[in-house]
Amino acid sequence: MSEPKIALITGITGQDGSYLTELLLEKGYAVHGIVRRTSNLLRSRIEHLRRDERIYEHQLFLHYGDLSDGTTLRRIFRDVRPAELYHLAGQSHVGLSFEIPESTCEEAGMATLRLLEIARDQPEPVRFYHASSSEIFGDAVETPQTETTPMLPASPYGCAKAFATQLVRVYRQSYGLFVCNGILYNHESPRRGENFVTRKIAHAVARIARGLDVDLVLGNLESRRDWGRAQDYVQAMWLMLQHETPDDYVVATGQTHSVREFVEAAFAVVDLPWEKHVKHDPSFDRPAEPARLVGCADKIGKTLGWEPTGTFPQLVREMVEAELKQVEALKR
């Protein structure tokens, strides 16, 4: 029996990291994840895997480390010797990046450079996936955006991701590294962080439906995003590293919806009038709102055969129903 392929994931406890871990475990990988040493030992998105004695410490392994600590990262690489690296970690909330710009740029920018340098020094080649973002396009000069659309970020997060994305291209061209940029548009799921607007809406709608809350306070309702399913997008990450040549790919649905449409669809799941419960607070509006960000995923479709599944209403329903289950569990 051949040895399992080894993958190393930064950001394994996040939304994408947890879905990617499940996907790789299904494919027979040995999965290693880098986690921060914190006082909170409960890592909810992967806790079901950590508690499974057949998986944890057999197929799934966690290592303490920090993206700012190059020495520890090198030690982890030496011990794990990954064939594939999925770099997903970092502060990923765009609005928050205006409040903590320095740490956002350190985590998204310099940490990527650190990992590229470590990958370059490995005795065996490592296939490297970098989680880029549609926010690199910001005030986009064209719609939809493709892999060749100029970068014009409109936030500190977008600037940091643009820097990291360019570094990936430089290291690929200069050193021949197998490194890919996945330029992912917004992707959601029941595991989305609670500080993201989609999860905030789904959570509030469930509580309002069960009589626990009355209002949902939001910023700009006309803000539009290209929203897909996180489960599909981690499949795209994996496909990029299986191809014979490294490249950059836009991963998107090609359709945009407004926050208002998300709200309408969410309240429709519980059959309540949204107008009665939604309040606008201008303090939640971003200092700078990007232009119409919508991606063209033709390249990844033609080259790797990837395409998004499900519909926008299905995604919203999935998120609201997951929140309803949580509310019911707490009431018991």
Show which residues are catalytic: 133, 135, 157
Distance of alpha carbon 213 from alpha carbon 327, whole angstroms = 12
**β-strand pairing of 179-184 with 127-133:** parallel
Which structure tokens are listed for 254? 């090609």
